[in-house]
Amino acid sequence: MRRRILQSILAVVIMTALLLGVPLIYTAWLWVEDVTRSDLRVRLDRMAAEVIAQEGTNGLVEGALNTDSLKVLTPNDGRLVVVYPTVVDGAARVDVGEATVKNALVESLAMGTSGSLRLEVPSENLRTQQKQAVMAVGVLVLLSITAGTVVAVVTARRLADPLQDVADRAARLAEGDFRPDPRRHDIPELDRVSDVLDAATVEISVRLQRERALVADVSHQLRSRLTAVRLRLDELSVHEDPDVVNEAEEAMAQVDRLTDGIDDLIRSSRTSGSSASLVSVVGELEQVTRDWQA
């Protein structure tokens, strides 16, 4: 019983953890990428503002583009490609940062018809952060499963032990042990069953006592009447008439058989339907002591 309860609770806990954990892992993976791309877009917006600030009234950059502020905004391991309009060239280009970026994560920003920004950063950092986020969610899922397992074990024990006690109590009642059991388990349903078993125990015990008293009274009355009949038959057994003596002896034989039948019935009624078992007095006293100490 405990194993079935434990398996049921664990199945619910694991299913819940998987139903929540898998979407959380996927969400954490996308969230880390979204945060990284948001940071790149913020950098691009600030870079675009720096480039626009260097444009003249005609919308063109006169002379070389000042990239000092762009270098500050470019990540250390990143690469920035700036395409901007100039007086000489309609689409001049300048690169800032690393020459090449392997496995790049790219974000771009268009600035009008002849200007754009392209920011590239290595994707290794993003993948590392995503793996860390997934591991964090996985640890939380494992912790939740562990906590659920502990709760399942405690709950299974709290439910299985009282149920086993009630089942044992019912088995003892079926074997003829009509002693009341004062133990309760603070579970209303099981305590109600225990109360019903106690009431049934008292009722069965009272009925058995009444039946035994009735059997004893009936046997006493029958024995008394049969004894009186036998005494009368003993007197007839010494009669002078042989036929009367013969009838008296046959009647006494019938009385003896009737007496034996009554003895057998009384013996059967007093015999328990199940085999008697030894009871440990020490164990019973220990239980009584614990009940009084509680």
Whether residue 20 is found in the same domain as residue 101: yes
DSSP 8-state secondary structure symbol assigned to residue 119? E
Kindly state whether residue 67 falls inside one of the protein's structural domains.
yes
Whether residue 102 is found in the same domain as residue 221: no
Whether residue 122 is found in the same domain as residue 226: no
Residue 274: the pLDDT is: 47
Kindly state whether residue 106 falls inside one of the protein's structural domains.
yes
Whether residue 109 is found in the same domain as residue 7: yes
Kindly state whether residue 110 falls inside one of the protein's structural domains.
yes
41-45, 117-121, 281-285: range with lowest mean pLDDT: 281-285
- For range 201-220, the mean pLDDT: 82
Residue 291, pLDDT above cutoff 80: no
Domain's final residue, options 139, 157, 187: 139
Whether residue 28 is found in the same domain as residue 125: yes
Residue 289: the pLDDT is: 65
Whether residue 80 is found in the same domain as residue 184: no
> For residues 156 and 55, is the Cβ–Cβ distance under 8 A?
no
- For range 43-53, the mean pLDDT: 87
pLDDT tens per residue, range 132-170: 999 999 999 999 999 988 888 888 887 777 778 888 888
Angle between helices 124-174 and 2-53 (to 10 degrees): 160
Residue 269, pLDDT above cutoff 70: no
Whether residue 133 is found in the same domain as residue 183: no
pLDDT tens per residue, range 218-266: 878 887 888 888 788 788 777 777 887 888 888 888 888 888 877 777 7
Whether residue 115 is found in the same domain as residue 200: no
Residue 66: the pLDDT is: 83
> For residues 173 and 201, is the Cβ–Cβ distance under 8 A?
yes
Write down the number of H helices and E strands in the chain. Answer: 6, 4
Kindly state whether residue 23 falls inside one of the protein's structural domains.
yes
Report the chain's mean pLDDT, rounded to a whole number. Answer: 81
Whether residue 134 is found in the same domain as residue 212: no
> Which residues does residue 81 pair with via DSSP β-bridges, in sequence order?
95, 118
Kindly state whether residue 291 falls inside one of the protein's structural domains.
no
Kindly state whether residue 267 falls inside one of the protein's structural domains.
yes
Higher pLDDT, 275 or 282: 282
What is the total count of domains within the chain? Answer: 2
Question: What is the band of 277 on the pLDDT scale with cuts at 50, 70, 90?
Answer: low
Domain's final residue, options 86, 119, 139: 139
Q: How much of the chain, in percent, has pLDDT values that exceed 70?
A: 89
Query: d(Cα 21, Cα 139) in Å, to the nearest integer?
Result: 10
Question: What is the band of 290 on the pLDDT scale with cuts at 50, 70, 90?
Answer: low
Question: If we measure between CA atoms, which residue out of 220, 262, 243 comes closest to residue 251?
Answer: 243
Domain containing residue 74:
2-139
Three-state DSSP state, 89: coil
Whether residue 112 is found in the same domain as residue 194: no
Whether residue 186 is found in the same domain as residue 124: no
Residue 271: the pLDDT is: 63
Kindly state whether residue 144 falls inside one of the protein's structural domains.
no
Q: Parallel, antiparallel, or unpaired: how do β-strands 92-97 and 79-84 relate?
A: antiparallel
